[in-house]
Amino acid sequence: MKAFEKILLTLLATLLLAACGGGMSGSYEGGDGLVALTFHGSRVDARVMGATHELSCSTDGDKVILESPQGKLVVTRNTDGSLDTPWGPLRKKD
């Protein structure tokens, strides 16, 4: 394989991985500090009342889908960038 083809394939793989990453990054936290979500591409660390759980995530428009073996939770990304969750709004810390 020529060097140009290798570079092109690497670039394409990087773009595909980024597209599958859910489009979310950074940390979001509630005003009381009891709930926080930290996004790492297609993974998210969810801290609820001191317990941290690793979940997978994806996006569909303004919806952020958090998945665990126990099920799915869909939260809404608001126009101001905050997340509307069952625990109240989470705002980006970064």
pLDDT given at position 11: 37
pLDDT given at position 87: 87
The better pLDDT of the pair 51, 1 is held by 51
CA distance 28 to 61: 18
Over residues 65-77, the mean pLDDT reads 92
Q: For tokens 């591409």, name the residue.
A: 41
Q: Does domain 3-92 match CATH 2.40.128.290?
A: yes
Over residues 67-89, the mean pLDDT reads 92
Over residues 84-88, the mean pLDDT reads 90
CA distance 90 to 78: 10
Instruction: Return the domain boundaries, the chain.
Output: 3-92
Can you give the pTM of this predicted structure?
0.71
